[in-house]
Amino acid sequence: MAGEYDPQTFYDGLVRHGLIVPVGVPGAFGRGAVFEDVLERFNALVSQLARDDHAEVYTFPPVISRAVLEKVKYLDSFPHLCGAVYSFFGKEPEAKALAARVNEGQPWGDLLGITDVVMNPAACYPVYPSFSGTLPQAGRQVTMLNWVYRHEPSNEPTRMQSFRVREFVRAGTPAQVLAWRDLWLQRGLSLLVALGLPARAEVAADPFFGRGGKLLAINQKDQQLKFEVLVPVISAAEPTAVCSFNFHQEHFGTTFGIRTPDGHTASTACLGFGLERIVMALFRTHGFDPEGWPAQVRRQLWP
C-alpha cells in the first residue's frame, strides 16, 4: 500500500474492508474473518519455528489472580495501565440503588467492590507461580497465546486496550536464558523480514508511569534488558513495536522462589509477538486484500 502513514486513514481502511469492527469504545474493536485468518496463519508460522524446542503449551484466561499482580509489584510501575475487576457484593436494597443509579445515568462505580481477579496485563505473568521450586537441569520453556489488557484507550488502531500475544517464557541459568533470548530475536526478525515487513530491532524500555518511570526506563535501556522489533504501521518516524524480548534477571525468580538445580535463584526471560499489530503491519505493507499480497508472502501464510 503506497502513500503516507496516517493512523486515521489506516483505521478507516481496516473498517471499510471489514477487517475490524468498531464497538463504540476506542481500542476494543472486533476482528473480522479475514483478519483472524491471517492472525491464525501467522501464529502457525511461529509454532513451526518453535517446533523443535518442545516448549510446554498453556492457555490462560484474560484474567489473573489479583494476588499475583500485587506480588510482582505491577502497580509500582504501571498503575496507569492496570484494569482491576470490580463486582457487586450487595443485597436487595443495594441492588435497587445500583440499578437506579445506572438507569439515571449517574456514576455507579463506587457501589462495586474489588474482586480477586484483575485483567491480565502481560502474557507471561500467569505462568510464573507454577515455576516455584527447583527447575529441571534444562530449565523450563513455555509457550502461550493469551489476551492481555492495558488501560490506554486510543483511536490509533495499533494501540489496543485488549489484544493477543503469542508468548514464550524461559526459566533457567542466565546463560541459558540469554542464549534463548538472542536466538528468538534472530528468529523473530527473520520471520518478519521473510514476510516482506521492513522490521528492525532496537533496545527499548517499558512504558513506566510518571517521572520516576523515566529513571526506570533509562536504567532498563542502559542495561539492555528489553529489545523490540519495530515495523512502520501508522508512522514512518515512529515505527510500531510488534515483538518484545525481555530479560527479567532474577526478578521473577526471587518473587516466586524459582531455583536452578545448583540452588541459585533462576533467571527468566520472555518474548511476545503482538499478533494484532503484526497482522496490521501486513495489511499496511501489502494492502487490505490478502489476495493481492506478493506471492512469496502468500506462499508462507497459505502453504
Partner 1 sequence: MSAFTFVRLDARRASSGVLRLRTMDVTAKIRRILKEHGRLSLDADTLALNADLYEAGMTSHASVNVMLALEGEFDLEFPDHMLKRSVFDSIASISAAIGELQAAAA
Q: Which three cell numbers stand for residue 227?
A: 529489545
> What does the alpha-carbon distance between residue 68 and residue 52 come to, in Å, rounded to a whole number?
31
Q: Which of the ranges 47-55, 124-132, 168-176, 215-223 carries the binding residues for partner 1, by CB under 8 A?
A: 215-223
The helix (run of H) or strand (run of E) holding residue 47 is: helix 33-50
CB 286 within 8 A of CB 196: yes
CB of 210 to partner 1, least distance (A): 9
**Sheet containing 200-203: order of strands:** 56-58, 140-149, 162-172, 267-274, 240-247, 226-231, 200-203
Coil/strand/helix, residue 158: coil
Q: Which is nearer to partner 1, 226 or 277 (CB)?
A: 226
Tell me the number of residues near partner 1 by CB under 8 A.
13
Q: Using CB under 8 A, pick the residue from 3, 211, 291, 303 that binds partner 1.
A: 211
CB of 247 to partner 1, least distance (A): 14
Look up cell 529489545; give the residue: 227
Q: Which of 87, 134, 219, 224 binds partner 1 (CB under 8 A)?
A: 219
- Report if residue 220 touches partner 1, rule: CB under 8 A: yes
Per-residue interface string for the shown chain with partner 1, residues 170-209, x marking contact by CB under 8 A: ----------------------------------------
DSSP state of 265: B
Residues 6+ apart with CB under 8 A from 41: 301, 302
> Which of 16, 73, 96, 299 contacts partner 1 by CB under 8 A?
73
- Per CB under 8 A, the segment of 14-22, 55-63, 73-81, 239-247 that binds partner 1 is 73-81
- Three-state SS at 49: helix
Q: Which residues pair with 240 in a beta bridge?
A: 231
Q: Which residues of 35-54 are buried (b: 16+ CB within 10 A; e: fewer)?
A: beebbebbbebbeeebeeee
- 12 near partner 1, judged by CB under 8 A: no
In the bound complex, what is the minimum distance in angstroms from residue 115's beta carbon to partner 1? Answer: 27
Residue 76 lies near partner 1 (rule: CB under 8 A): yes
Q: Contact between 77 and partner 1 (CB under 8 A)?
A: yes
CB of 212 vs partner 1, minimal distance in Å: 4
Q: Map the footprint of partner 1 across residues 143-172, applying CB under 8 A.
A: none
CB 263 within 8 A of CB 238: no
Which residue number, 125 or 273, has a Cβ lying nearer to partner 1?
A: 125
Contact between 216 and partner 1 (CB under 8 A)?
yes
Q: Where does this chain bind partner 1 (CB under 8 A)? A: 73, 76-77, 211-216, 218-220, 222
